[in-house]
Structure 1
Amino acid sequence: MPQGDRSWDVETDLLVVGAGAAGMTAALVGALEGLNVVLCEKSEMVGGTTATSAGTVWIPGSRQGQLAGTPDTVDAARTYLTAMLGEHATDERLDMFLKAGPVVLDYLEQKTNVRFAAPPVHPDYKQLPGAAIGGRALGAVPFDGRKLGDDFARVRPPRREFMVLGGMMVGKADIPALLAPFRNWTNFRHVIGLLTRHALDRISHKRGTRLIMGNALVARLFEGVRRAGVDLRFETVLREIICDGDDVAGAVLSAPIGEVAVRARKGVVLATGGIGWSRELRERLFPEAARRFSLAPSSNTGDGILTAERVNAVVERDLESPALWMPSSVMAQADGQVSVFPHIMLDRAKPGLLAVNKSGRRFVNEADSYHDFVAAMLRSNASAATAFLICDRAFIRDFGIGLVHPQGTPPSTEALQRGRGSLSKT
């Protein structure tokens, strides 16, 4: 039917689909700028993949980065990106990103409770001209989940494998103290503080409320979205994008109350999280060896991409890679849960470990970024990318490996038989 004759159930200025970091940021800024905003989320929780990740943003030349004390400039970042992107470095979107990034950080800090800080050392992943040691990678400042009240239960928890003691988040800075609590008074006091806080949290919450990394970013954005009065609708799925000629007019959503047609006067933002677990997209875009597992939440099934394609959107194919890869070990737990554990940097990149392919040949610098590590896996054997991480007991004592924590015991033969015994990809 002509769109002018369509019956709309809801009218708003801006419709945002997906309540991860990108979607909540779009919804929050829209509301702060005076727009009526509807934010719909497929699952019953906010956060998406951001909630289960480090939640790091890469924004050169920011005021927050300068506070870390690491020299950096936008021009140096442009040099780095030019060396990485080649002919694609002329894309006008790159200029917009470099100009807008610092502005966005300051805007959020001035108008909301979203706060970012840069660790003094967080090197760029590639050793290219213009690379920085720190100041460009920023993470959210820790957040007290108790400030959300009952809404705390709506924040997607981190991966179970990354929590301890039934739901306590542990950051990189906490690990030295937890491994040696009696080494000095500083370590002891830090550990006692963590354990006491967590014990009190568990009296009234299913997990700890000391939120760090991606969980802190999600919680801060969620608090802002609630304060700004955004109409947030859970368990609401994108079904169809409605166009009026060449313009997007709105969308049809599947909600607990039934189908809802939403007219969006200013536009629709798709922030549904990419390819995720979509079998169709994974088979179409990924090499065979990378199709089986994902680190995305199970609710991420490519809805935004697939729905947009039905109104003639096109997936860009002139890319080095269709995804950001991460090497992961896969093991079935005794309770039946399949753990997909990402080997980010705390084990794989440490001295004393070798990575070999199924032919027993070393194929990569083990300290390469997670993406480059898996790209090397795929080049080594694209049809069934498998790698084996080889280390001794001293390495496990000092660093741990995968689901074996530092000073832990290697998994039993039974556990290995339940698992896959190899590395997988996102």
Structure 2
Amino acid sequence: MNAPFPPAADVGVPVEQPMLVEDADAVAWDQSTDLLVVGLGGAGLAAALEGIERGLSVIAVDRYACGGSTAANGGVFYAGGGTTIQREAGEDDSPEAMLDYLRIEAGKVVSDETLRRFVEQSPETVDWILRHGGKLAASVWKEKCSYPPLDRFLYHPDNSLVASYRARAKPAARGHRAFGRDGKKAWGLGKFITEPMTQSALRLGLVFHRYSEARQLVVDRDGRVVGARILSTPEGSPEARRFAKYIARANMLLAALPPSIPLASITIALGNHYLRKASEIEAKARFSRLIRAREGVVLSAGGFIMNPAMVRRYAPAYATGMPNGTLGDQGSGILLGMSAGGATALMDKVSAWRFINPPKAWAQAIAVDRAGERFVDETVYGATMGEHIVDYRGGVAWLIYDKSLREAAFRQARDPKLVPFQRDVTLLNLLFNARKAPTLDALARRIGVDAEGLVRTVATYNAAARGEAQDPFGKEAVDMHPIERGPFYAMDISIDSRFLPLPVITFGGLRVAEESGQVLDRAGKPIAGLYAAGRTAVGLASQTYVSGLSFADCFFSGRRAARHAARANV
């Protein structure tokens, strides 16, 4: 999709058309640097560190404090091929096995050469993280799950243990979870990697301007991006302190409850109240400065899932999902690239996450569509399940189970190994998201599903669960349980399920040259001096999502951009 640069009114972000200059040397720059990094999340941090290590001077700007969604996530970094952590845990992996697996999950969006380069660099990248203070550990969890117990830091964050995938690629635990605890939360853990690495970058010479937004690129007469205009709230000022306080409150309130949960409208309204107060400070206190970037500008400002206007414009099918990101995911980096003529792709593609394991009892049940038909092996990773529901089933699906599986789910919810959010989501949906009927036929009528289709589907499933036939989706017997003991239950797992929100993140972004990370124009040619990385760009995680692959792609693409800029500097 090579969409033209949209008006700010249509996308909610006031990015401006580039400032055109005849001669960069004649401009009265406020600051100059080799590399200017716009957005200091995972990708920006990687670009900054790599650039400094290769002899570049680097300035980074971030509208907020830094870290972005990388710091705010579950702290999972996808790596393999025999990393230091895998070897310490006794996990057998090889580059060939990792490449075989990723060809299934990521092989259509990027070239095989890029995928191979990512795999070959993976062990060294883990060593690089550790060298700069990132915290990882080798305690392994070998079972299928959406997220491991909090005392395990290496696990399978993907489909590698699912039978149909295991038959095509040798599995290995490749989810390297950040080593650290923040109470019993399973989010906000990426900071145990990003924070020490940010401190390392600052010690090595990174100049960082927080509370600073890139509003406009600067382009010379040859079409080269030579810098950017930045709006900054003065650091250390009373205004900056109030801004930080309001943003922290907004973040906390906006993430407090999923939009579909009762009372969420109150927390969301309060969050937006503090966002408005923060915006009022920016409107009055910010000053403008021009920063020259001699070797390039790296756009690494995240995706656009937190910008409802952009989601409605580019990916309307996902507008009712629960945005999974941080305040910086407004699409500003993508829009800056588009303003300079950058092409975009996959802007309508979004990853939707429907995790149903744990409890294992739900994975032993069946997912059906309006016709009462199954459409997937229910043990697949949550992003794969979500993709099937939204992309291929119109966003509507139900999980069907019986009294025996319901009893098992209640027992499993009491397992002390569960992360609290897994326990709470299980109990909430067992209690409030369960339609009940004495027969399958009656249940189908109650939820608006074709009764004949549901009865036929359950009969086919039960035969496979009893070992009388092969499951048409390849589900293994250990993951199956006959659905035969009434009463029967249906759980709404649709995109707009009230008690089971569907987290969504954007996949699309700027098209880049895979060898360099340079932004491509609409003719497919690199734009001199302009790079994009992380979720601002199309990359390894843009075909489908497995936990940690986006984090890993941020580091891969950020380092790639800095390496290319450094070569130009030699």
The reply to whether TM is greater than 0.5 is yes
User: Residue 323 of structure 1 is aligned with which of 313, 338, 350?
Assistant: 350
Partner AA of 2:352 in structure 1: W
User: Which structure has the greater CA radius of gyration?
Assistant: 2
SS in 2 for 1:168: coil
- Number of the residue aligned with 1:46: 66
- Number of the residue aligned with 1:163: none
- Number of the residue aligned with 1:234: 210
Partner AA of 1:248 in structure 2: V
User: Residue 159 of structure 2 is aligned with which of 120, 125, 135?
Assistant: 125
- Number of the residue aligned with 1:249: 226
Partner Cα distance (2:232, 2:92) in 1? 49
- CA deviations 1:254-289 (Å, max 9, x no partner) are 211412211112222211112222334423442524
Work out whether 1:18 is the aligned partner of 2:39.
Answer: yes
- Number of the residue aligned with 1:378: 390
- Number of the residue aligned with 1:139: 177
Partner Cα distance (1:376, 1:348) in 2? 20
Please report how far the alpha carbon of residue 373 of structure 1 lies from its aligned counterpart in structure 2 after TM superposition.
0.6
Please report how far the alpha carbon of residue 352 of structure 1 lies from its aligned counterpart in structure 2 after TM superposition.
4.9
Partner Cα distance (2:432, 2:362) in 1? 23
**C-alpha spacing 1:169/1:215, structure 2 compared with 1 (3 Å):** farther
Q: How does 1:132-211 map to 2 (within 5 A)?
A: 132-142=170-180, 168-170=183-185
Please report how far the alpha carbon of residue 34 of structure 1 lies from its aligned counterpart in structure 2 after TM superposition.
3.7
Does the CA contact (< 8 Å) of 1:55 and 1:139 recur in 2?
Answer: yes
Please report how far the alpha carbon of residue 372 of structure 1 lies from its aligned counterpart in structure 2 after TM superposition.
0.9
Work out whether 1:366 is the aligned partner of 2:381.
Answer: no
- Number of the residue aligned with 1:59: 79
- Number of the residue aligned with 2:302: 273
SS in 2 for 1:116: coil
Does the CA contact (< 8 Å) of 2:136 and 2:178 recur in 1?
Answer: yes
Work out whether 1:424 is the aligned partner of 2:502.
Answer: yes
**C-alpha spacing 1:412/1:282, structure 2 compared with 1 (3 Å):** closer
SS in 2 for 1:404: helix
Please report how far the alpha carbon of residue 55 of structure 1 lies from its aligned counterpart in structure 2 after TM superposition.
2.3
Task: Please identify, of 27-36 and 350-359, the stretch whose mean Cα deviation from structure 2 is larger.
Answer: 350-359
Does the CA contact (< 8 Å) of 1:19 and 1:47 recur in 2?
Answer: yes
Partner Cα distance (1:260, 1:394) in 2? 61
- Number of the residue aligned with 1:113: 133
Partner Cα distance (1:39, 1:358) in 2? 50
Partner Cα distance (2:310, 2:428) in 1? 39
Task: Please identify, of 388-397 and 6-15, the stretch whose mean Cα deviation from structure 2 is larger.
Answer: 388-397
- Number of the residue aligned with 2:195: 219
Does the CA contact (< 8 Å) of 2:301 and 2:328 recur in 1?
Answer: no
- Number of the residue aligned with 2:413: 399
- Number of the residue aligned with 2:113: 92
Does the CA contact (< 8 Å) of 1:60 and 1:136 recur in 2?
Answer: yes
Percent identity between matched residues is 25
Please report how far the alpha carbon of residue 350 of structure 1 lies from its aligned counterpart in structure 2 after TM superposition.
4.8
Partner Cα distance (2:188, 2:329) in 1? 23
- Number of the residue aligned with 2:334: 305
Partner Cα distance (1:355, 1:399) in 2? 20
Partner AA of 1:56 in structure 2: V
SS in 2 for 1:102: helix
**C-alpha spacing 1:403/1:355, structure 2 compared with 1 (3 Å):** farther
**C-alpha spacing 1:222/1:86, structure 2 compared with 1 (3 Å):** closer
Please report how far the alpha carbon of residue 325 of structure 1 lies from its aligned counterpart in structure 2 after TM superposition.
2.3
- CA deviations 1:26-79 (Å, max 9, x no partner) are 223333444322221122x33222233222222222233222212111122222
Q: How does 1:64-79 map to 2 (within 5 A)?
A: 64-79=85-100
SS in 1 for 2:323: coil
**C-alpha spacing 1:72/1:351, structure 2 compared with 1 (3 Å):** same
Please report how far the alpha carbon of residue 218 of structure 1 lies from its aligned counterpart in structure 2 after TM superposition.
2.7
**C-alpha spacing 1:390/1:237, structure 2 compared with 1 (3 Å):** farther
Partner AA of 1:104 in structure 2: T
**C-alpha spacing 1:86/1:36, structure 2 compared with 1 (3 Å):** closer
Does the CA contact (< 8 Å) of 1:31 and 1:228 recur in 2?
Answer: yes
User: Residue 8 of structure 1 is aligned with which of 29, 40, 49?
Assistant: 29
- CA deviations 1:380-412 (Å, max 9, x no partner) are 543xx2444566254134227867267789656
Partner Cα distance (2:356, 2:32) in 1? 44
Partner AA of 2:291 in structure 1: V
- Number of the residue aligned with 2:539: none
Partner Cα distance (1:399, 1:221) in 2? 37
Does the CA contact (< 8 Å) of 1:349 and 1:366 recur in 2?
Answer: no
Unaligned runs of 5+ residues in structure 1 are: 144-166, 172-210, 328-342, 414-418
SS in 2 for 1:276: coil
Does the CA contact (< 8 Å) of 1:272 and 1:303 recur in 2?
Answer: yes
Work out whether 1:262 is the aligned partner of 2:262.
Answer: no
SS in 1 for 2:350: coil
- CA deviations 1:88-111 (Å, max 9, x no partner) are 67443223212322222223323x
**C-alpha spacing 1:132/1:125, structure 2 compared with 1 (3 Å):** same
Partner Cα distance (1:406, 1:85) in 2? 30
SS in 2 for 1:131: coil
Please report how far the alpha carbon of residue 236 of structure 1 lies from its aligned counterpart in structure 2 after TM superposition.
1.2
Work out whether 1:288 is the aligned partner of 2:322.
Answer: no
Partner Cα distance (1:128, 1:66) in 2? 21
Q: TM-score, normalised by structure 2?
A: 0.52
Please report how far the alpha carbon of residue 359 of structure 1 lies from its aligned counterpart in structure 2 after TM superposition.
6.1
Partner AA of 2:190 in structure 1: G
SS in 1 for 2:228: strand
Partner AA of 1:250 in structure 2: G
Partner Cα distance (1:228, 1:349) in 2? 51
Partner AA of 1:253 in structure 2: I
Partner AA of 2:337 in structure 1: A
Work out whether 1:28 is the aligned partner of 2:49.
Answer: yes
Partner Cα distance (1:134, 1:376) in 2? 24
Could you say what the CA RMSD is over the residues aligned between the two structures, in angstroms?
A: 3.5
Partner AA of 1:298 in structure 2: L
User: Residue 81 of structure 1 is aligned with which of 70, 84, 102?
Assistant: 102
**C-alpha spacing 1:287/1:222, structure 2 compared with 1 (3 Å):** same
SS in 1 for 2:345: coil
Q: TM-score, normalised by structure 1?
A: 0.68
SS in 1 for 2:66: coil
SS in 2 for 1:169: coil
